[in-house]
Amino acid sequence: MMSKKKAKLIFKHNYFEIVEDGDYVLCAISGKEIKLQNLHYWNVDTQEAYFSPVEANEKFKSQKK
């Protein structure tokens, strides 16, 4: 069995750069693991990843307050 490793990324506007290789990153809201091939939502300004549009929207709403 292969051990999973957390990746370190730099989030850009339409892509991300891999700083340290890994299999997943953590959602900034839920703490869920997100496989890199399933990573579609992130915030360039805060450099945070989100599991789905639900978490991304939660962060967006909390920033507007």
Residue 1 has pLDDT above 80, yes or no: no
Structural domain includes residue 37: yes
Within a domain: residue 23?
A: yes
Per-residue model confidence as pLDDT tens digits over 2-60: 679 999 999 999 999 999 999 999 999 999 999 999 999 999 999 999 999 999 999 99
**Any domain includes 2:** no
26 CB burial (10 A radius; 0-12, 13-18, 19+): middle
Domain presence at residue 20: yes
If DSSP codes are grouped into helix, strand and coil, which group holds residue 31? coil
CB burial of residue 62 (10 Å; 0-12, 13-18, 19+): exposed
